[in-house]
Every structure is written in C-alpha cells, then in structure tokens.
Amino acid sequence: MATLELYSKGASVWIPDPDAVWVSAQLLQDYSHGEKHLLLQLSDGKVSLEISVSDQVYLSSPTGLPPLGNPDILEGENDLTALSFLHEPAVLHNLRVRFLGYSSIYTYCGIVLVAINPYEQLPIYGEEVIDAYSGQDMADMEPHIFSVAEEAYRTMTREEKNQSIIISGESGSGKTVSAKFTMRYFAVVGGATQQTSVEERVLASNPIMESIGNAKTTRNDNSSRFGKYIEIGFGRKGDIIGANMRTYLLEKSRVVFQASAERNYHIFYQLCASRELPEMRSLRLGENAPEHFRYTKQGGEMQIPGTDDLSDLERTRNAFTVLNVQPDQQMELFRILSAVLHLGNVNIQASGRNSDRSYIDPGDRSLAVFSKLLGVEGPQMAHWLCHRRLAVGGEMLVKPMSGQQAVEARDALAKHIYGQLFTWTVQRLNSALRTQRGQAKSFIGVLDIYGFETFDRNSFEQFCINYANEKLQQQFNRHVFHLEQEEYIREELAWSRIEFSDNQQCISLIEGHLGLFDLLDEECRMPKGSDESWVRKLYDQHLNSEPHPHFQKPRMSNSSFIVLHFADMVQYECNGFLDKNRDTVFEELINVLKASQVDLFVSAAGKCVLCGQRKCSHREKSELLVFLFFMFWWCITTPHYVRCIKPNDLKQPFMFDPRRTVQQLRACGVLETIRISAAGYPSRWTYEEFFSRYRVLLQGPQSEEQAQASIRKALPQLIPDPDQYCFGKTKVFFRAGQVALLEKLRAERLHVAAVIIQSRVRGWMARIRYTRILWAAVTIQRYWRGALARRLALTLRHTKAAIVIQKTYRMVVVRQLFLMIRQLVAECAAVLLQARVRGWLARQAYRRVHAAVVFMQCCWRRRAARRELLKLKTEARSVEKYRELNKGMEVKVMQLQLRADQEREAASVEMESLRATIQKLESQKQKQPQPLPVISEVEERRRAEEKAAQEILQLRQCVHEAVSQASAALRAELDEERRKYQGLLREFTRLEQRYDNLREMSLLTEVQPHRRTDSTQSLSLEPLSPSPTPLSPQSLTPLSISPFPSGFPSPEEVRRDSVISLDRRASVWSTETPLIFAYVLFYVVSNYFSVLTSPLSPDTSSCPSPTKPATVTGLLECRKRDEAKLIKNLITGETEPYIRVDSALSLPPGLPASVLFLCVRQADCSGDQTRARSLCSAAVTAMKAALKVTSGFEPAWSTIWLWSNIKRAVHVMSGRLSLTENDLIRALSDLCIQAYQQLLSITEKRLQNIIVPALLESETIPGLSAVKLGTSRKRAGSDPRNVGCDVLTMASVLRELGALHTALSRQALPPTLMEQAFHQLTYLISATALNSLLLRKDICCWSRGMQIRYNVSLLEEWLRSRGLQAGGAVGTLEPLIQAVQLLQAAKKTDADAGALVQTCTTLSSQQIVKILTLYTPHSDLDERVTLNFIRTVQGLLKGRSEGQPPQLLMDVRRVFPVTFPYLPPAVLHAEQLVIPDSLKISFLHRA
C-alpha cells in the first residue's frame, strides 16, 4: 500500500498558517492520484477550504501533498524521533502539547534534549529529584536535564571515557540555568561528605562569572556575553577532585557601548549600588551612580525588576571568599573596575583648525580619579590618550590624534583592561578549582555556547558567533549521522549510505581560500584599508568572479553583505569590522599602565603586553580558540546535546509563540536531526513490542516465543515495498510514515472484526428476543383463556347468590316490621323506665372514677416534685465540688442555689395552695364536672436547672480542650526539639568523619617521617588505652532529648555503588559479614544503654560514699592492668578495631554491657573514682572507634549488637553511680543513636537499588502487563539494558526486611523501637517508589497499577504478620497506594474527577496532575486522560494547593524522630551471669 492511500477521508493533515505556522485539518473526501485539489476542514470545525496540491509550500514533500498528522498513540511522545511522520509541523505540535498541555519543558529529539524556558520557577530541581534520577536508566525516566547529566556520568564511570555536554540556544532560552543545574547535579552525585569542598567551589564560580560576564539584553535579563567551557575532573571512585574553566568570545564592546534597553555587565551596577559601604567609599563612585557614568547609562536601563544589585555583590564577594580570593585582592579588583567607569567619563575635546587635534583638560576630575585608583601618572595618561608614536625612517615621531581617534583609543583601553581583568579572574578561579589530589582519571565538560544570533543590525560579534555555530552544527550533523549508522551496524541491517545536507560550502565561504576571513586580514594589513573597500572586494570575489551560492548583496545597501547560514539568512553591516578585527591598544598606554602601583593590575597588564607583542588577529583567536580547540576536544569525548528554546519574547510563563519556536528549531539543529533520522529508519520497534501492538495483523500461531518468525512472515504481506522496512537482530525498522500505515491497517482490521462481532451478537440477540416474544405470546394466551373461564364461573355464582340474597332480605324486612309493632304496643313503658335508671347509674360511676383519677394525679405530682427536690439538692452539693476548679462560677452557683431554695419554698407554698384548690374542686365537682387546669412552675424551674448543668458541662469541656491543646503543643515542640537535636548529632558525626578524612589526607601529603597529633582532635580520635582520662563534658551533647534520627545512606555513596560494574557489585554483596557486623555493633550499644538504668540486686542496690569504701557483693572486679584486655575482649577484636562477628552473635543479650557495668560498679563502690572513670572512658572510646569503623560501606554488620549493649548499659548505670553519671550517659546515648543510624543506613543501602525493580517493575501477577518494561521502546541513542541480570521481585525486599527483623528480635529489643525502625524503612520504600513512578511514563498505566498494588499488599501483609502496623509503618505506604488507585480509577467525567480528589488526600496537587499527565494506555480498551479532565481536577485541587509547598517529589531524606522507651532489665548479679570461655575474661574476680 502506497503512502498516498493514507490521504483518505478523516485523515489529519497540516496546512501552513501565518500566525500559528501550522494548523491541523481533516480531509473531507478521499484523495486519488492525479487530483489537483484537496477538500479540507480545519480542526475547529468552523471553516472548510479547498487547497491546490501544487502549492509552493508543499514542494518539500515528494508528493506535493500537505504533511500527514501522526496517530493518536504518539500524542505527546517524549522523544520526537519516535514519531511516525517526522516533519516540522509534527515536531512543533508535539512540543506545544507537552509544553502547554502537560507542563513538560523537556523533550528528547534523538540524542538531543530540547529544553523550553518556562519563565517560571518549577519544583523539579530539588535534591529529591536528583536522588530520583541518580542511578536510573535514561530511557526509563521522563526527559530532564538531570537525565542527560546522569547519562554522561554513568558512561564516564562505566566506560572510563570522557564526556561533554553542549548547551546552546539564543539569549534568554535558559542556557546558563541549564548549565548551573548540570554542574549542581555533578556536585551532588560526585561530591561526598567526607571529602574536600571542590564541588562547593565549582558551584561558587557561577555567581562570579555571572557578575563579570552576564548583562541585560533586550531578550534576556541575565544573558551570558561569553562562551564558557567547564571541565569537571573525577577520581577513580567517581568523586569530583577538580575543575577547569575556559572562556572565549567575550563581548568586550559592551564595556563601552550598550544598545537601547540594555545594560553593561552586572558587576558595574553592583559596585554602584554598594557605593555607600565604608570600604567602597574610596572608589569615588559618586551620588548618582550609575546614571553618572557614560559606560553604564547608554542603554537607559539602570535596574532590572526583581533583582537587588547590592545583595548580588554580597553573593559575589562570598563566592570569592569560598575560592580563597583574599579581601585585599577583591578590593583591588573592584578598584580596577571602578577605574574603568571613571575612564569612560574622561572628557576629550577637539582642537585645531580641522579638529585634527585633541586634548584633555588638566583639571579633569575623572582622569584624576582614574589615575589615583590605578596609581599611574595622570599627565602621561592624558598625553598618550591624545597622541600616538610613529616610527618613520628610523626616527620616532609623536603625532596628535583627532577627537574621534582619541575617544576610540580611550574605549580600546577600557576594553583591554576589562578583557585582561576577565582573563585574570578566570585564571584565579582555575587555580582555586585545581585539584591537589593527583591527576583526574576522567572528566565531563559542560559547554555553554552562544546560539545562532540574528538582529536588526548584525556586526562582527554576530559574525564570529554564527561562524562558531556553523562549525558546531557541522560536527553535530556528522555525530548524529555516525550514531545512526552505528545503530544499523549493531542490528546488522542491509543499509545504504544516508545522504544529508552539509554546511561545508558556507564554512568554506568564511574560512576558505579568498574567503571572508582571508580578505578581511588582507584589508587589515593595508595602510589605508577601510570597511568599504573590504566589502567591495567581497562583491568582486563572491558575486562577480566566482559567484557563491551562500553569499548575496542587499539591494538597497552597498555597505553590507548577506550570508546564507544553515539556520537563516543574515545581513551583516561592515562598519567596524576592521577595527574590531585588529583590536589593538597603543603600546604607549600599556607602558603607562605597567607603572601602576596596583599589584593585581600590574600582573594583568604584564600578561597583556605579551599578548600585544604577538599582534595576532581576531581571526586567529576565533579559529585557534574555537575551531582547533573544540574540534580536538570533540574527538576525545562523547558529546551530549541540550538545545534551549525561548518560547516567547514577552518572557511570559508558559506562553508558546509558534513562529519564534520554529525559528529556533531551525537554528539549533533539531530539525536537522529529524531530517537525518527521516532519511533512514526513524521508527524502530522491538519484536516483542511489535507483536504486542500489531498481533491482530499477524497470521499463524500467536505466541511470544515465535513472535520474530511471525513478524518476518507477515510483514511482507502488510507492506509490499521491502525498502520501507528492515529486520534487525532485536528490532524491526520502518521508514517514515509506515507506523501510521500499520496503525491504519490495524484500525481497519479491528473495524472489520468489530463489524463481524457486532453482526454475530446482533443475530444472537435477535434470536433470543424472538424466543422470548414467542414464549410471552403463548403465556399471555393461556392466561387470557383462563381468565375468561373464571369470569363465566363467577357470573353463574353471582346469579345464584342474588336469588338467595333477595329471599333473605324479604324475610328480614317482614320480621323487622313485626318487632317494631310489638315494641310500640306492648313494651313501650318498660323500655323507658330501664333507660332512665341506666342513665343515673352511669353518671354515678363516672363521678367516682373522675375523683379517683384527680387524686391519683395529685399524688404522682407530689412524688415527682419530691424527686426533683432531691435531684436539685444533689446538684447543689456537686456545685460545691467544682467550686475550686471554677472559681469564676462561684457567685453564679450561689445565685442558682439561692434561687433553687426560693423556688423550693415557693413550691411548698404552691403545693398547699394546690391541695386547697383540689379540695375546693372536689366540693364543687357536682356543679363543675371538669376541673380547671392548673399552671405549675415546676417545669420552668427544671429548665433553669438543666441550663445551669449544661453551662457547667460546657465549662468542663472548655477546660479539657485547653489542656489537650496545651499538651499537643508541648508534644509537638518536644518532637521538633528532638528532630533538631538529632540533626545536630548527625551533622556532628558527619563533620567529625570529614575531619578524620581531611587529617588522613593531609598526613598522606606530608613528607615528614613522623606524624604530629592534632590538639583539636575530638574524643573519638583517642587511642584505645586504659588511661584514666575523664569524660569531657564539652565533647558530649546533653541528653535533654533522648531520641535521635535514623541514619540515611549518603546519596553519593549509593550513587557510586550504582555505577560500578555488575561483577564488582556482586562481589560486594556476596558475603553477609558486613550486615552481621552491623547487627552485633547495634546490639552492644543498645544493651549497654539499657544496663545503665536497670535496678540492682539487694547486695548492690546501695553504694557507700566515695570517701568511705565498703565491701559490696555480687560485683566483678577488674584490676588496673587488665582494663585494656577487658575492653579488647568485650568490644574490640584481637587485631581488628571492631567487634568479632564470630563470637558476638552467640553471646546472651546484654552480656558485655552487664560485665562492664559490674566492673564499673565495683570500682565506684570501692571508692576508686579514678579507676571507675578510666574504665568508663576506655569503654566509650572503644565503642566510638568501633562505630567509626562501621561507618564505611564494607564492615557494617555488627552495629545492632553494639547498640543493644550500649542501650542496656545506659539504663543500668543511670542513678546507680556516684561519679559524674550525666557525662557518661550522654556519651553512651550519642553512641546508641549513632549505632541506630548506621544500622538503618546499611539496610537502606541494600534496599536502595532493589526498591524500584521489585516494587514497580516486577510482574508478580504473570501475564497482566501486555509488554514487559525491559522490552519497552527506548529513545534513540540510549544504552540498552543489561541482559542476564537477576530479576528482582518483592521477595528480595521482604528478604532484606526479614533479615533485619530477625536480627532485632534475637537481641530482645523493645517492640516500639523495632516499629520506629521499620516505619523509617517503609517511608523510604514508599517515597522512592512514588518518586520513580512520577518520573516514568511507562509505569503510569492501568495494568502496571494492578501489579504495584499487589506488590504493596504483600508488603502490608508482611508488616501486619510481624505486628509492626502499630508504629505507622503501614500508614507511610498510603501515598503510593493512592497513586496506584489513581491509575486504576475512571478518568472521564466530572464525577470521576470529584471522586479522585476525595480519594487522593495524601497526594499533593502537583503529584495528582503529574500522574494524570503521564498516564499512558497500553491497550485499546483504555483511553488517554483528556486535557479538559486534567483542568477539571486542577480546578477542584485549587483550594487544597494554596497551603501546600510546590514540591512534586517526596523527600527521601526525611528523618522521623526516634524515641527509646525505658524498659529496665532484670536485677543484675555476678552469680547470675554465664560467661563463656570464648570471651577470655577469666581474669575478673567476683566481689
């Protein structure tokens, strides 16, 4: 099937538009070959139009037809090369959808990362994002600048090959910010807490270079006006050990001239803003600076909105301090910069008849300030600014210069001074960034280069910048072509050489023989050369003699020329080309500057003289420094490309201008990458993925094992042209448009199948319906016949019944007539008498009943009143109970009581009156049968008492709530103090370790044969000796808050472990010794902490006074000479400075801590305070040394054993020793916390690399996912996954957690402590998994959500089976569970949006929107989430997001405060201890 058949009714095409560049339209009828017109309808459905196929806009298409749109499955693809149709409208539309619809500013384009400037601060650059991208495959994660940096770092570490990152784009596109984030990523993953602060110095260079090299332009408020290349060196372990910076193409002309609405370099305005500082007053910047200086006021922009120049200068000075630039050198630098400003205000006046002379007023204030600041002679500087020396016939003549020439000489001197100062600053930064620890093993270069520039007026600077971009674009095209061919070779394709457009002709025009540079240098050597004569030579050479296709002449100008660059056609004005190419400064002015009294300036000027003697042209600078250097540098590194795009010129956030975007896409080479990819096989699918997607088109057996054979057999029938596809080893490759063709065939096949299924279903439903109707008709007839028969029988019955009724009725009528006659005649008198008597009897009975009821009501009301009285008395006594608690209510209560008494008296009086009334009513009941209603006040009194009771209850509730709130506030404050203290302790441990490493490093670099002990060492650096050194309170932290945070693995160490080879990783994890060592160490610390506060036996419960020793039984005695041996056998090994693993785990829980406590207790009770202190100090020092040894990665398994013993020791010794126990308990508490931190740190290191594969990628439910993640489509240029690695599942995670739980359970640790440890670990698991899910598009689908939910349920079940749910471990999984529910829930209607918002309560607004944005259907039964639905959810979340910080990812470094419960152990007695012989402590004596 030809591609023309894709132009069918309903197909999407792109047509040009003057505003939107390209707009989408649909075909209203099929297109046949040979037709001249197409009938289209725009996507908005309002306009229908007819276009001609032969329009000039489609000449780039081989068929002359408008370009086709991509299938919906490729909507918002994160890699542009994965699009089926690779052309300009498809690229522009995909970028617009990702930028505006998904708020994604990064998109891959093969090996290029396209970054669109959002002009808004986005929460995607925090440390949690760095941790999420660290160690991950580039193809698995969403496009990001960190992903490119990670790819470069991984390739450098594994392949040991140097890397480079080229960041380009026009001014305002975000190049500088991208470069800063790249260096920040390297500083985080390549830096380490125990190493020197090289990474801090690398980051500190940014504010300095921004101050002296950035300026405000019309397109960018912080535009870099120079090229920068930073080379970051890495050591063998992947850590940063140094850096080097190179700069090029500094825009020195900006120092003396700025266009309208632009500024000079930031440093000048920063100095002017700080003129009021005491140290800056000597610079004499004046009151009205910067409006006072000519070099800062030309552009008319003195202030940038949103920036503070004074604070920026402070940040610049702090950066200088970090880079070891002394304050005096900083002031000399500022003095020279101020002198440049004053030099621009020197007034040069013209004189002579024809103004061929010039002079400077001797009293010129600016010249005097300039001379004083630089320490030069003012008259000499004034003379040589207006004169020059010429050599004529061997004699030196002094020639005066005109006013214009003198101004140009002054400006040239200012540019020269600034340029040399800029060079000195860069050299000073390089000396500070240079490593002191040997040669770097490899490096990563970050290049921040100008993008292609075209302005209304283009001069020599733009010409050099565009020439450099021409060279870079040529190398970029060749590199992309090389990678494309490498892919074909790796897949063993039968391919032919791809032809692509090259810009060599344009480069030859500039640098070739008799090119622009050759003619420019020739004109510069002419005595009377001018810009006009140079342009005429260009016209003669490249228009008349040998016409060049890339050179043109403007129609309306004779002083400019046009060069057709690869990106655009640029017109250059020749004015100033020769002067800027010469870039000379007179030697006389240099000699005057050499006599300066400023040391810094003299050094810079001396270097300038050497450069001036060389007299090299600007062409040599541009070619040698740009072309030769970068071409050599490019050949020895693997490049990575970042192309920054400026979406609009108004600097509005998330505003997309299609015309400006297309212009930059053409200029930065993105479309060239598309063209090269489209020339080959741009679409490539693995056989598994192709089989999963297009299995409906295949024939024969449908099994994944035979997928490749089925595809090879069926594809020639689907695509008859064999040139449109090619089979590789692991992938099948397609030409442009073939994926859309397959999608159409697939849709047609599914449509046919759907029609067949519908016909079968409709026939089956019709037959079922006919059967039901037939059965219903028969049933209705049967029931109707039965109804008629029953109706006939009923009629017969009614006829017979009517006759009987008539007969009976007639009999009754006759009988009634007879009875009436008899009653009236015979019984009239008797009946009347009976009626009178019965009436009188009834009235008598009614009166008796009425009297009884009234009496009963009175009795009941009296009883109720008595009960109410008792109740009021009881409540009155209860008011007395609360009088002390509610003193403010005392008066009110007394009033209520008085009122109650009064009401009781009134009630008694009322009762008497009621009795009298009742008697009166009883006497009058004959006359008045019904008693009058009586209104009682008892109800009102009851209501008043109830109101008083309610008020008292409300007061109680208020008091209770106030107490609860105060308790909650105090508890929160206590937790906050705990967290701060834990952070300080952890920082102290980190700084102590860093100090040790720095000390060792300094000792290694010393050449002395002996080492000197530093007097500032902390207690942890003391040797293991039994010397009686008391504990230093200054070196210990107070235990005002006992809990401490759990330790986290250093992200740098985890990062380095993730990039080492698989063999090396396997060798590290092959042994269980490190984790056993951590458990042992942890157990010792915790048990020693517990023993310090435990109760003692009756014999050891009391201790005599230190001054009065006494004998106490049940203790252990350790002699002075045996202390070192005791410490060695209990805590340290024979030869290794850590606990012996083989014997530590076999000991009873807390045995070493109990032995140490009994020995210390015996020394304390015997009055030997010195020996007790010595033993305690030795034990603490040994434990600290053991903990320091376990702080590394390898020996870390004994922490649990040491922690357990220290914890028990603290519990036992608290309050039982007469020596200064606080210092001992504080030291042991800190050691306990450090052991706890190291234990979790080791466990987290082991979990870090298996969380994502086990929780997110493993398929615990087989066959649920259609495509495995390991075989999903990868971006072009990414490294494939390692094949053959062990598949990690949830069993791996549960195995690690089970090992930790078993070890903690064996050491008899408190359950609450275990709950806190697993609470921290489950939070790490949840945060790591959720962060990865938020950055991976292939994870966000319904089937994968089912897999993840099942894996999480396994973890929940494991936690509940161990009884760990009480500590909040299960609750930390709630964000991940809600994220999975979000993947599985319906996402179509407004009701679905409301349900999602109500369900996902723990997820932030950014996280919910991100998951909806990344959601990708993996089957035809599912659909993408529409933008309208996402906007609806955002509207519902607007109220929630107001109080939330703009953070997308969870903080994996979050630390929960830990609390150690007090659980005193059993009574200690020496006879109860069973000491094994393996400890070798038989030298202890029982006392």
1363 is a catalytic site residue = no
224 is a catalytic site residue = yes
Cα 911 to chain centroid, rounded: 81
Comparing CA positions, the residue from 155, 173, 176 lying closest to residue 164 is 155
220 is a catalytic site residue = yes
Give counts: helices (H), strands (E), the chain.
46, 26
Selected catalytic residue, list 155, 171, 1154, 1241: 171
Cα 247 to chain centroid, rounded: 32
175 marked among binding-site residues: yes
Selected catalytic residue, list 176, 466, 1243, 1351: 176
Distance CA 1162, CA 1156 (A): 10
CB 267 within 8 A of CB 226: no
The bridge status of strand 112-116 relative to strand 638-645 is parallel
451 is a catalytic site residue = yes
Question: Residues 6 or more apart from 965 whose CB is under 8 A from it?
Answer: none
Q: Which two tokens stand for residue 311?
A: 């604070």
Question: Residues 6 or more apart from 1327 whose CB is under 8 A from it?
Answer: 128, 1375, 1449, 1450, 1451, 1452, 1454
Instruction: Give the DSSP per-residue string, 1027-1075.
Output: --PPPPGGGS---SS---PPP---HHHHHHHHHS-HHHHHHHHT--HHH
344 is a catalytic site residue = no
1154 is a catalytic site residue = no
Comparing CA positions, the residue from 1411, 1263, 1268, 1275 lying closest to residue 1336 is 1411
Q: What is the DSSP letter of 498?
A: P
Distance CA 1415, CA 101 (A): 13
Question: Residues 6 or more apart from 1333 whose CB is under 8 A from it?
Answer: 1256, 1339, 1340, 1348, 1376, 1379, 1411
Bridge partners (DSSP) listed for residue 38: 51
1042 marked among binding-site residues: no
Q: Is 930 exposed, middle or buried (0-12, 13-18, 19+ CB in 10 A)?
A: exposed
Q: Which two tokens stand for residue 112?
A: 């290029």
Bridge partners (DSSP) listed for residue 443: 233
Selected catalytic residue, list 94, 147, 224, 1050: 224
Comparing CA positions, the residue from 56, 7, 15 lying closest to residue 32 is 7
Q: Which two tokens stand for residue 661?
A: 């975007």
Distance CA 660, CA 1289 (A): 49
Selected catalytic residue, list 190, 227, 419, 451: 451
- Helix axis angle for 587-594 and 378-386, nearest 10°, is 170
287 marked among binding-site residues: no
169 marked among binding-site residues: yes
Question: Residues 6 or more apart from 681 whose CB is under 8 A from it?
Answer: 488, 493, 495, 725, 726, 733, 734, 735
CB 561 within 8 A of CB 551: yes
Bridge partners (DSSP) listed for residue 247: 228
Residue type (1 letter), 31: Y
Instruction: Give the DSSP per-residue string, 1107-1170.
Output: TS----SS-EE--GGGHHHHHHHHTS-SSSSS--HHHHTTSPTTHHHHHHHHHHHHHHHTT-HH
Selected catalytic residue, list 147, 220, 1094, 1154: 220
Comparing CA positions, the residue from 655, 651, 468, 645 lying closest to residue 113 is 645
Question: Residues 6 or more apart from 150 whose CB is under 8 A from it?
Answer: 133, 134, 135, 136, 138, 185, 189
Helix (H, G, I), strand (E, B) or coil at 444: strand
Selected catalytic residue, list 69, 76, 110, 172: 172
171 marked among binding-site residues: yes
174 marked among binding-site residues: yes
Cα 802 to chain centroid, rounded: 95
Selected catalytic residue, list 84, 223, 692, 1154: 223
Distance CA 1273, CA 1258 (A): 17
Distance CA 488, CA 1465 (A): 71
What is the side-by-side order of every strand in the sheet holding 725-727?
Answer: 683-686, 731-734, 725-727
Q: Does the bond joining 290 to the residue before it have cis omega, within 30 degrees of 0?
A: yes
Selected catalytic residue, list 151, 453, 1053, 1123: 453
Q: 């409906």: which residue's tokens?
A: 696
Binding-site residue numbers are 169-176
- Binding residues for ATP are 169-176
Residues serving a catalytic function are: 171-172, 176, 220, 223-224, 451, 453
